[in-house]
Amino acid sequence: MPRPYEFSSMTALVCFDAAARNASFKKAAQEMNVTPAAISHQIKALEMDLKCSLFLRHHRGVELTEKGALLFVVIQRGFET
């Protein structure tokens, strides 16, 4: 039976939330006690699933794209309830 939502994992959504709140993969990694590469891997998997970029990657941190900002609001509301 197919799953109703075909995301990589809940972990990818939690990583996305941490990265979006901190505007940094490095700070998200520290918060979650993993490496920045692990955060990046989860974000890339989520972006592939959604077929869109969620972050603009800069030398010093990341910035949400418009679609990333919309997803962030939805994820926050979901986690709050």
CATH code of the domain occupying 10-74: 1.10.10.10
Q: What is the pTM of this model?
A: 0.87
Q: What are the structural domain ranges in the chain?
A: 10-74
Residue 13 parent element (H or E): helix 10-22
Confidence label for 57 from pLDDT (cuts 50, 70 and 90): very high
What average pLDDT does the chain have?
A: 91
Q: Give the DSSP letter string of 31-68.
A: HHTS-HHHHHHHHHHHHHHHTS--EEEETTEEEE-HHH
Q: Is the pLDDT of residue 47 over 80?
A: yes
Burial class (CB in 10 A: 0-12, 13-18, 19+), 3: exposed
Looking at the predicted structure, is the pLDDT value of residue 2 above 80? no
pLDDT tens for each residue of 7-36? 568 999 999 999 999 999 999 999 999 999
% residues pLDDT > 70 (the chain): 90
